């Protein structure tokens, strides 16, 4: 066969069509490749995944592509039979000369794991002092993944701190002595703090555009989210009680592949955010890691009853307890005011400037002793309620009832 000159343009057109088809086929394959957020793709909008995940109601829809990794199976755990003991470890970071000795004599049942952040020759230490407690918690999990105890508490090293609930007098030792390991096993993850404020019911709004000076981490979080959880859409709200102190069961940690913890730690090691911000961000991410939920705010009275055996007989009883506390606080304010006024009068009297034109209000004589009596009466009631609640918490049935879980004869806590 001889190519006629007229066939040449025809051949050219056919070739061009085949070329176009190949190109479109190749690009279709590319379109199906998952988009790597944070790996070269700078996230510039607060909702980088919104078109993929959010439908018109703003509800999160099923992702429309394959996940990078299967979602961990967050199943409730089964506690040991009543009377069993649990192997427990307490993980804390230690910097400089912070005292951690209290753990040994206050908490003999807890095995301490003290990570020294600024001494690479210490038996337990993170690879680098970066990201505050976050790198310590993750390093413990990575180092001990194959030999974990039944439950692990992650805390700061101070025994006394405001963020340890007032009900325990701010004492971390008292809190852990009362802690119910069965609840930790059942739930898999438990925030040690029961009081909602700050942190619940809705704390961080990762989509927020305006910086809130009390939550500088909020606007940073949206940018980091895609790097930390490339499979999860950016949540509207992230909430749990503050302060990054929590307990996790071995089963729950093992439900999450070790490689994920290594990945999270790499993020901490490589992020350019300040330690302050990355630490704050992680305060509101632990529950996401360990429960897969964006909001974990258990009712305070359930947390106290099931978690620590302090049962106020339902929400009403608990509200009464809180009311007594705030009334006591108001009386104390009044007393402070009275004493301030009395002192100011005294100063004027001594310096001889107390006269008709004086603007100071003269405090009622005797009002201070009256206030003092009212305060001690409130204190007496508070103590009595607490004693009653603690006695009620000794009964496993009362605890189950308050937490709204089923109970039968012979069940433990």
Ligand X SMILES: *[C@@H]1O[C@H](CO)[C@@H](O)[C@H](O)[C@H]1NC(C)=O
Which CB, 54 or 208, lies closer to ligand X? 54
d(CA 35, CA 7): 45
d(CA 329, CA 337): 12
CB of 234 to ligand X, least distance (A): 16
β-pair partners for 6: none
Question: What are the phi and psi torsion angles at 89 (to 5°)?
Answer: -125, 140
Which CB, 261 or 321, lies closer to ligand X? 321
Question: What single-letter DSSP state applies at residue 60?
Answer: B
Sign of CA dihedral 166, 167, 172, 173: positive
Tally of residues, the chain? 413
Which CB, 95 or 381, lies closer to ligand X? 381
Q: Is residue 187 within 8 Å of residue 296, measured between CB atoms?
A: no
Question: What single-letter DSSP state applies at residue 159?
Answer: S
Which CB, 63 or 198, lies closer to ligand X? 63
Which CB, 155 or 385, lies closer to ligand X? 385
Q: Report cis status (omega within 30 of 0) of the bond before 55.
A: no
CB of 13 to ligand X, least distance (A): 45
Which CB, 49 or 94, lies closer to ligand X? 49
The 10 Å Cβ neighbour count of residue 254 is 13
CB of 386 to ligand X, least distance (A): 9
Sign of CA dihedral 360, 363, 364, 365: negative
CB of 378 to ligand X, least distance (A): 11
Q: Is residue 248 within 8 Å of residue 151, measured between CB atoms?
A: yes
Per-residue tokens: 106:
């206050």
Q: How many CA atoms lie within 13 A of 235 on its CB side?
A: 18
Q: What are the residues whose beta carbons fall under 8 Å from the beta carbon of 120, sequence distance 6 or more?
A: none
Which CB, 275 or 320, lies closer to ligand X? 320
> H-helix or E-strand containing 152?
strand 151-154
CB of 313 to ligand X, least distance (A): 9
CB of 381 to ligand X, least distance (A): 5
CB of 236 to ligand X, least distance (A): 13
Name the residues that contact ligand X, by CB under 6 A.
Answer: 55-57, 59, 61, 381, 384-385, 388
Which CB, 216 or 388, lies closer to ligand X? 388
CB of 382 to ligand X, least distance (A): 8
- With CA atoms as reference, report the closest residue to 150 among 184, 116, 197: 184
């Amino acid at each position: 066969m001889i190519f006629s000159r007229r066939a040449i343009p025809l051949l050219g057109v056919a070739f061009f069509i085949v070329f176009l088809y190949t190109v479109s086929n190749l690009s279709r394959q590319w379109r199906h490749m998952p988009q790597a957020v944070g790996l070269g793709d700078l996230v510039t909008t607060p909702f980088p995944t919104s078109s993929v995940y959010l439908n018109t109601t703003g509800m999160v829809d099923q992702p429309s592509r394959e996940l990078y990794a299967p979602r961990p199976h967050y199943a409730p755990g089964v506690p040991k039979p009543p009377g069993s003991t649990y192997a427990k470890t307490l993980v804390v970071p230690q910097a400089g000369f912070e005292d951690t000795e209290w753990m040994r004599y206050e908490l003999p049942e807890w095995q301490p794991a003290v990570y020294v952040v600024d001494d690479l020759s210490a038996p337990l230490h993170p690879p680098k002092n970066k990201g505050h407690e976050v790198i310590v918690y993750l390093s413990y999990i990575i180092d001990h993944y194959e030999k974990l105890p039944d439950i692990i508490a992650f805390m700061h090293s101070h025994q006394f701190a405001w963020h340890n609930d007032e009900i325990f007098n701010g004492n971390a030792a008292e809190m852990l002595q009362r802690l119910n390991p069965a609840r930790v096993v059942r739930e898999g993850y438990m925030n040690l703090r029961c009081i909602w404020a700050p942190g619940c019911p809705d704390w961080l709004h990762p989509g927020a555009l305006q910086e809130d000076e009390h939550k500088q981490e909020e606007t940073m979080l949206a940018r980091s989210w895609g790097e930390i959880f490339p499979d999860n859409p950016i949540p509207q709200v992230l909430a749990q009680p503050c302060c990054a102190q929590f307990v996790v069961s071995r089963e729950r940690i093992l439900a999450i592949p070790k490689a994920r913890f290594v990945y999270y730690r790499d993020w901490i090691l490589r992020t350019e955010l300040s330690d302050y911000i990355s630490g704050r961000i992680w305060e509101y991410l632990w529950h996401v890691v360990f429960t897969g939920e964006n909001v974990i705010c258990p009712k305070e009275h359930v947390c106290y009853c099931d978690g620590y055996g302090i049962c106020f007989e339902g929400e009403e009883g608990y509200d009464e307890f809180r009311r007594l506390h705030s009334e006591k606080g108001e009386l104390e304010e009044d007393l402070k005011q009275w004493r301030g006024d009395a002192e100011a009068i005294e100063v004027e009297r001594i310096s001889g400037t107390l006269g008709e034109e004086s603007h100071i209000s003269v405090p009622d004589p005797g009002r201070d002793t009256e206030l003092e009596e009212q305060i001690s009466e409130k204190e007496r009631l508070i103590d009595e309620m607490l004693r009653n609640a603690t006695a009620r918490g000794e009964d496993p049935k009362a605890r189950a009832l308050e937490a709204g879980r089923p109970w039968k004869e012979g069940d433990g806590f």
